[in-house]
Amino acid sequence: MILVNLLDSRSVAGDLGWVAYPRNGWEEIGEVDEDYAPIHTYQVCRVMEQNQNNWLHTNWILTEGAQRVFIELKFTLRDCNSLPGGVGTCKETFNMYYYETDEGDETDAEDGDEMMDAGGGGGGGGVGGVMEEVDRSIKESRYTKVDTIAADESFTELDLGDRVMKLNTEVRDLGPLTRKGFYLAFQDLGSCIALVSVRVFYKRCPLLVKSLAEFPDTIPGSEASQLVEVAGRCVNGSLALLDERPRMHCSAEGEWLVPIGKCVCQPGFEEINGSCQVCRAGFYRSVLQTSSCSKCPPHSRARQTGATACTCVEGYYKTDTDPPNMACTRPPSAPRNAISNVNETSVFLEWSVPLETGGRKDGRYNILCRRVLPEGGRGGGLEECGPNVRFLPRRMGLANTSVMVADLQSHTNYSFLLEAVNGVSELAGGHSRQYVSLNVTTNQAAPSPVSVVRKGHVGKNSIAVSWAEPDRPNGIILEYEIKYFEKEQDSSYTIIKSTKTEMVVDSLKPSSAYIFQVRARTSAGYGAFSRRFEFQTSPYLAASSERTQVSVVAVSITLALVLMALVAGFLLSGRRCGYSKAKQDPEEEKMHFHNGHIKFPGVRTYVDPHTYEDPNQAVHEFAQEIDVSFISIERVIGAGEFGEVCSGPLRLPGKREIQVAIKTLKAGYTEQQRRDFLWEASIMGQFDHPNIIHLEGVVTKSKPVMIITEYMENGSLDTFLKKNDAQFTVIQLVGMLRGIASGMRYLSDMGYVHRDLAARNILVNSNLVCKVSDFGLSRVLEDDPEAAYTTRGGKIPIRWTAPEAIAYRKFTSASDVWSYGIVMWEVMSYGERPYWEMSNQDVIKAVEESYRLPGPMDCPAALYHLMMDCWQRERSSRPKFEEIVCLLDKLIRNPSSLKTLLNSSHRVSNLLVEHASVEVAISTSLTLSQTVGEWLDSIKMGRYTELFTEGGYSSLDTVAQMTSEDVRRVGVNLAGHQKKIINGIQEMRVHLINSVPI
């Protein structure tokens, strides 16, 4: 940071030339300090006279482009009480003003002189006096007030006697300044002041060279929290990576923050001590992503300096996709130890890997298959095998060292060439190819199966069948065998032989189904039977056949009717229970199988990122990677554990620009810190709920690493409430609480326990929507300044945490409910600190002894009752978030239920109340006409009347105090009934609170 003085009254050697009016107001006292340097002190002390209005103007101060300047005043001030007699009119403050203008003219000073001349005589009556007053007020009206300045220390007569100077120093800042310069003015209204020095300065971010990027000397923005983004200039022959333009942010304090992107040396150069040096011969640097020159990889060289790549030596090659740091390679040698295994008309070929792989891992094998033509045939040479020969798995590009060649001709000679190739075989050209050859003679082979058997004329005792010759007869077909049998009687069958490809099979039963199969025989033996073909003989009698058809139709109709009845019954029963089971809806089913994942609504659970071995994988599973060029950082909004929290717009391609919060991970982090930082994103990214802070994505591919979330205009809830004390209606507050409860219900449904629920971890947007934030595990608590170490180690935010979680780390959704109760209290008391300044130890002790926070001022009784329920010692007796949301909804729907405020005995500020006493207060004042039985009947739970009476709950006021544990204890075992009764009790409480003043 650089401080630049625009004015320093102490360093002015000659006359300061400031203007005072009226003349008998401020006066300059020429003094010297201990080094005889002049001190320009202005003083005024007209405490005895009424209506003082004494002004002192500085000269025109040039801003030099600064938009925010600081003013440091040093002054002494006389204590009014020490002044004899003048106390009535005496003041102990003065005002500071400024007036911005583009032109620093002398008119002001002249005007001042005129005024002093005119008004200097004192009093100023008559016409001249009035004009002067008007003129003066016009001048004054141009000035804007900066502040009223009071002294931290004033001095008395006694101090004067002791020659004690009580010098005050006050600093104020001014901005945004938009003109070339300004005047400062000091207005005295009747105090006794000596202005010893005035210093006006501004701050600049100094010229900085970082990562080969130069950032110019920069003037900060006009707002205290504003960041000015400054583009860096690549120096020393370096250049910026695409999308990694170097940027820095100049803060109002003149400090450089949040560096983004960088410059790198051009290919062929490397960065050494902040400058780019050429790569030596034998070295190269090809891409901007690497930082230094590397030695040429094996079988390559760089003869010149400044190489961006190395060239392969003779006989070695590189493909376009080979990385620059990979050695040059060559084609492989031939496969070795090739053998063949003939099975009739198939050949199995097998070989070993080549001795020389050429230095590559992308080796493959190709097979060349040629039939040896018989002697005397055309050319007596070789002929390509043609498309009918099958290669398993394939002919070219084989990864394994074997192949099956099938469907060759029988009794035929074949020549196979096996070739090994790799990624540079093409580059090396044909002369580099090396083969191993194999000659094979196929055996005789049986014919292939007959593929189709057709039905000809059908009689009641006969069926004519025909078939085609097999595709590959593999020799001369000597005869066919026809096998047939009555359907489902295959234990006894008949075989007939034929030399033709058709025959009539007779002696069959009428109206019967028969199965037929055919096979061919050559000198090599029988081929396999064809698949089964089913044909039916004609019926015995036409009349009976009709009857059969009629009866078939009748049976079909009956079956159809029965089926329809069944389907209808199923659908009806489905509709009856469909409201409770969403997954019975077929549409729903479809949806849940979408993308190959089976998902049912409501049962999605949170996945602990710990279950991932690689934390980066977890982040990218749940969070979208965002390119940093889509983000602009505009201002710092806070400080997080890992770095600044900033805000700015996010412009994703094809999407509307939105404002986002940007959490940054500061430079110099360890791998563990990076992991911990991104942990939060892995968790947040799993949630999708309007009351949970939404993760937009992460930036991990460039530095600084960032987490991008939606922007919440009103910041954290505790600060927001403190700032807006008593500004909201009860319904607005309950609306906020309802939102938080709804977010928490979602988290607990997902199986996620927050552990650090507190108003400081809730964020509020411009519509007053509250969202739960600050996720993580150990990190959450490490980060929280409220978290204290417990005796068992580990940090816990004591004031917000349930006793069982403090005592033995039993963190559950029920302990989150306890914390929610504390958040309710924070909200209803507008950000008051829970348990005020009590020590953590005292809080633990008091809670242990059943003391609880008292109701906040003006808190509706129903809300306080809910808080107290959240603070039940027995965690199973606390309400569930589901129930809390339900109750708050009821209160919002029925605002009159919030009218009854707490009895003052429950809101004794700074005093805890005993947990049981509130229950007593309600019960003693109850007068209800209904009996327990009537009430149970009214909620259709009359069957439990006897159990309630036996359990000692014979009046409604005792029932009103029952916890869910009590309800279970009296013998209500069904979960649905328990819920119904608990809801009834909660409704009864609201009703009681409304109807009876507590």
Nearest-angstrom CA–CA distance, 418 and 363: 13
In whole angstroms, the minimum distance from the beta carbon of 631 to ligand ACK comes to: 14
Q: Is 649 in the site for ligand ACK (CB under 6 A)?
A: no
Are 482 and 497 spatial neighbours (Cβ–Cβ below 8 Å)?
Answer: yes
Nearer to ligand ACK among residue 425 and residue 709 (C-beta): 709
Instruction: Give me the numbers of helices (H) and strands (E) for the chain, helices first please.
Output: 22, 53
Q: Which of 303, 231, 212, 251 is nearest to 68 (CA)?
A: 251
Residue with smaller CB distance to ligand ACK, 69 or 681: 681
Q: Are 925 and 998 in contact (CB under 8 A)?
A: yes
Which lies closer to ligand ACK via its Cβ, residue 91 or residue 722?
A: 722
Q: How far apart are CA 742 and CA 889, in angstroms?
A: 10
Stretch that binds ligand ACK, among 258-266, 309-317, 623-631, 715-723 (CB under 6 A): 715-723
Q: How far is the CB of 867 from ligand ACK (least distance, A)?
A: 24
Residue 732, token pair as written in the block: 């607005």
Q: Which of 947, 926, 927, 925 is nearest to 936 (CA)?
A: 947
Q: Contacts with ligand ACK in 363-402 (CB under 6 A)? A: none
Site string for ligand ACK, 148-187 (x = CB under 6 A): ----------------------------------------
Segment 564-593, which members bind ligand ACK (CB under 6 A)? none
**Six token digits for residue 95:** 């005002």
User: Which residue, chain included where needed, has tokens 């001249």?
Assistant: 128
Quick one: which segment of 370-378, 525-533, 594-602, 711-719 binds ligand ACK (CB under 6 A)? 711-719
The nearest distance, CB 696 to ligand ACK, in angstroms, is 10
751: left (phi over 0), alpha (psi -120 to 50) or beta: left
Query: How distant, in Å, are the alpha carbons of 139, 500, 506, 603, 856 from that of 459?
Result: 126, 21, 9, 64, 100
Q: How far is the CB of 662 from ligand ACK (least distance, A)?
A: 9
Residue 135 token pair: 């003129």
Q: Shortest distance, CB of residue 636 to ligand ACK, whole angstroms?
A: 9
- The residue (of 372 and 645) whose beta carbon lies closer to ligand ACK is 645
Candidates 155, 284, 535, 711; binder of ligand ACK (CB under 6 A) is 711
Least CB distance to ligand ACK at residue 759 (A):
10
Amino acid found at 480: Y
**Nearest-5° angle of CA 854, CA 859, CA 862?**
95
Cα–Cα distance, 414 to 476 (Å, whole number) = 22
CB under 6 A: which stretch of 107-115, 283-291, 712-720, 814-822 binds ligand ACK? 712-720
> Quick one: which segment of 206-214, 478-486, 635-643, 795-803 binds ligand ACK (CB under 6 A)?
635-643
What are the tokens at 666? 């500061």
For residues 734-763, which are near ligand ACK according to CB under 6 A?
A: 763
Distance CA 266, CA 251 (A): 31
**Residue 372, exposed/middle/buried by CB under 10 A (0-12, 13-18, 19+)?**
middle
The answer to whether 409 and 342 are in contact (CB under 8 A) is no
Interface region with ligand ACK, contact rule CB under 6 A, candidates 115-123, 546-554, 703-711, 821-829: 703-711
Under the binding rule (CB under 6 A), the answer on residue 640 touching ligand ACK is: yes
By CB under 6 A, tell whether 805 contacts ligand ACK: no
Residue (194 or 693) nearer to ligand ACK, CB: 693
Rounded CA separation 585/562 (Å): 23
Name the token pair of 609.
């990122």
Q: Is the dihedral of CA 841, 845, 847, 852 positive or negative?
A: negative
637 binds ligand ACK (CB under 6 A): yes
- Strand blocks (E) in 693-742: 695-699, 706-710
Residue window 762-801: x/- pattern of binding to ligand ACK, with contact defined by CB under 6 A: -x--------------------------------------
Tell me: does residue 716 bind ligand ACK (CB under 6 A): yes
Between 771 and 906, CB nearer to ligand ACK: 771
User: Looking at 226-234, 710-718, 845-853, 927-935, which segment touches ligand ACK (CB under 6 A)?
Assistant: 710-718
- Residue 519 corresponds to which amino acid? R
Contact call for residues 8 and 40 (beta carbons, < 8 A): no
Collapsed DSSP state (helix, strand, coil) of residue 456? strand
33-72 residues in contact with ligand ACK (CB under 6 A) are: none
Choices 132-140, 393-401, 706-714, 830-838 (CB under 6 A): range interacting with ligand ACK: 706-714
Please state the closest distance from residue 722 (CB atom) to ligand ACK, in A.
10
Task: Report how far Cα 935 is from the mean position of its chain's Cα atoms.
Answer: 49
Q: How far is the CB of 717 from ligand ACK (least distance, A)?
A: 8
The region of 34-42, 233-241, 551-559, 704-712 touching ligand ACK under the rule CB under 6 A is 704-712
Q: Is 986 in the site for ligand ACK (CB under 6 A)?
A: no
Q: Measure CA of the first residue to CA of the last residue in the chain; give whole Å.
A: 62
719 is an interface residue for ligand ACK by CB under 6 A: yes
C-beta of 763 vs 922, nearer to ligand ACK: 763
**Residue 933 in the binding site for ligand ACK (CB under 6 A):** no
CA dist 774 and 362 (Å) reads 48
Counting contacts by CB under 6 A, is residue 892 touching ligand ACK?
Answer: no
In the structure encoding, which two tokens stand for residue 530, read together?
């064809």
In the set 38, 282, 649, 715, which binds ligand ACK (CB under 6 A)? 715
Stretch of 449-457, 565-573, 636-644, 944-952 lying at the interface with ligand ACK (CB under 6 A): 636-644
Instruction: Please identify, using beta-carbon distances, which residue of 124 and 638 lies nearer to ligand ACK.
Output: 638
Q: Does 712 bind ligand ACK (CB under 6 A)?
A: yes
CA atoms within 13 A on the CB side of 565: 6
- Which tokens hold the place of 38? 């002049």
Q: How far apart are CA 831 and CA 725, in angstroms?
A: 8
Angle of helix 881-893 relative to helix 813-828, nearest 10 degrees? 30
Determine the Cα–Cα distance for residues 688 and 215; give it in Å rounded to an integer: 41
Residue nearest ligand ACK by beta-carbon distance:
638
Q: Find out whether 291 and 263 touch, Cβ atoms under 8 Å.
A: no
Q: What is the token pair recorded at 82?
A: 């020490």
Binding mask 659-698 for ligand ACK (x = CB under 6 A): --x-------------------------------x-----
Site size toward ligand ACK (CB under 6 A) is 14
Q: Which is nearer to ligand ACK, 416 or 720 (CB)?
A: 720
Q: How far is the CB of 707 from ligand ACK (least distance, A)?
A: 9
Least distance from C-beta 624 to ligand ACK, angstroms?
16
Q: Judged by CB, which is closer to ligand ACK: 419, or 826?
A: 826
Does residue 706 touch ligand ACK according to CB under 6 A? no
Distances from the Cα of 660 to the Cα of 46, 429, 606, 739, 859, angstroms: 56, 57, 25, 21, 35
- Catalytic residue list: 756
Kindly tell me which of 695 and 960 has the beta carbon lying closer to ligand ACK: 695
Under the binding rule (CB under 6 A), the answer on residue 709 touching ligand ACK is: yes
Binding site for ligand ACK (CB under 6 A): 637-638, 640, 645, 661, 693, 709-712, 715-716, 719, 763
